[in-house]
A and B are shown apart, each in its own frame.
Chain A
Amino acid sequence: MLRALRVIRISWVLQLKTMARSGFDVLTAIITPITYASIAFFLYRRGGGPQTLLWVSLGAAFMGLWASTLWGAGNTIQRQRSQQTLEFAIAAPTPFLVSLIGTSLASSTVGLYSLVATLAWGRLLFDVPLELAHPILFALSLPAAVLSLGLLGIVMAATLILYRYAWALANMLEYPIWLAAGLLAPIALLPGWVHPISYALAPTWGAKAVRESVLGGSPLAAIGMCLGLAAVYLAIGFFLVRNFERLARQRATLALS
């Protein structure tokens, strides 16, 4: 267990270092949340009061967090495949899932910047109020959200181990999840058949936990859902990585050629 935690820690640290050293990654991480926040503010500025704007602003923050998770999940495997480190990482005795947890959590950690940037952007340019109803629960809801999004990231990354072109599909998931998770509009406005999908998504509960801890409410249930979903994603990730790794060794898809 201690060994696994060490691997998660170093994967997390080195993934953050790798991302920090790419001008493109840094620029994307900085600009994306601000762009999303601006769109959301312009959409809701006329019709909504300060509380609505804060609600929207937190949703926009999760749009950035989700974009970062999705980008990280897709990019980690593709980059490892193109620089031919994927084979080396998989052929190590530590199960690949363990290092994947570290790299995926790093992407969602970077997404935390999205929250800070969105709130600061809203405060400075759009006069969005910033007061926390439950500061302690807010501090709890953040790591819970990062954990659940990060572990959802490994489920997606797992498919890329086997399917070399799955990143194209993964990229398509960015916008539908914004809607399904209720980041821009309440889930109640969506058709009934979408609700089960919404409830299975980490961004839904992460955004709910953060919104309720900022705007008031009882975020504990949403925090619990984040943690419960994280456990489910971990179990699915474990199953997928183990089986997809074996299939990839059968079908020879670990290398580029």
Chain B
Amino acid sequence: MSHRLGRVNVVEAVDLRRTYKTTTGAIRRKSHEIEAVRGVSFAIREGELFGLLGPNGAGKTTTIKMLITLLIPTSGSARVLGRDVVKDARWVRERIGYVFGGERGLYERLSALDNLRYFAELYAVDPRRQRARIDELLDLVGLKGREQERVEGYSRGMRQRLHIARGLLHDPPVLFLDEPTIGVDPVGARELRATIASLTAAGKTVLLTTHYMFEADSLCDRIAVIANGEIVAQGTPTELKAGVADGSVVEVEVFGVEERIVERVRELAGVRAVTVEDREQKQLLIVQTAPGFELTHAILSQLDADSVGRVSSREPTLEDAYVALVTAA
């Protein structure tokens, strides 16, 4: 993928920090400061699709909001296309597009066409080109023929596609996509991913946040993993996988596992990370192990034999690399 990447840094974040003030209590109000982003630095090259991965509350959206001029950083700086996002906010706004995941962010009582017409004016799209551009985008996102309907009747997937069309109206060279496929059905999500891939093929620089590892793996040139407001790793998907590739992963189906047992497994020598995924009536205990350790027996000895189902071992994936990085943070 790197053949299309330029040498210029299109997005640069240098030691970005952002704190929020919050209050608790109705009568005796106490003010607290929450550090949402704690010194984030990265650079995205021209034409690159850069992924920002992290759990909920890690600071992904706050970071994006600083880059798209919606939040002023508490300290640090950020530049888009060489211009400061605070000092030259308007200049930056003209050249970026952004798409937030979720159902909101659209004028519900208006049609998709009216939503796009409104933003076409706000983004100063040439009036002579507006209708053609809107038609082009409705075609691209598959909403042609439904544009006269009010947004309040749209499905989640249709709303998400409308968000993408809106973000592309002014043909910006840089795009910020914050979990654009969240909540979209698998077929819709696949179509959206194809659209995102076509954006970088058209020379656009994209910053994408997502929870889905396979999405990041298949789309991103490079990934930064963010946890607790800090970047804990950065590299290509292959480089990140290499961080845990030398170990292995043991998966054990369990029927009810207590937290104290998970803790005991976590404390075993050679264990890198432990996660528990709910699978209807059962859970899947996923244990990442360091190279040279065969821990299947040690893990099973911690569990009640009657509550154990299928046991398997496999190679680590990007998701395992992500889990190891986030749990270590």
Contacts and interface: CB of A to CB of B under 8 A. Distances in A.
Interface of A: 3, 6-7, 10-11, 14, 17-18, 21-22, 83-85, 87-94, 99, 246, 249-252, 254
B201 interface: no
B107 A85 contact: yes
A10 B70 contact: no
B105 A88 contact: yes
Given A92-B119, A252-B20, A254-B70, A3 B106 contact: no
B110 A18 contact: yes
Contacts, number: 74
A85 B105 contact: yes
Given A83-B104, A83-B105, A83-B106, A94 B121 contact: yes
Interface string B64-86: 01001111100000000000000
A92 B122 CA distance: 6
Interface in B108-130: 108-110, 114, 117-119, 121-124, 127
B121 A7 contact: yes
Given A10-B121, A93-B123, A94-B121, A249 B109 contact: no
Contact of B69 (A11, A83, A85, A249): A249
Contact of A14 (B93, B108, B114): B114
A94 B118 contact: no
Nearest to B124: A3
Nearest to A247: B72
Given A18-B109, A85-B106, A91 B68 contact: yes
A249 B71 contact: yes
Given A91-B69, A249-B69, A254-B70, A7 B122 contact: yes
A66 B262 CA distance: 64
B98 interface: yes
Given A6-B127, A7-B122, A10-B121, A91 B70 contact: yes
Contact of B122 (A21, A94, A246): A94
A194 B125 CA distance: 48
B122 A99 contact: yes
Nearest to B21: A251
A75 to B, nearest CB: 12
A37 B35 CA distance: 55
B90 interface: yes
Nearest to B117: A10
B315 interface: no
A92 B93 contact: yes
Contacts of B124: 3, 93-94
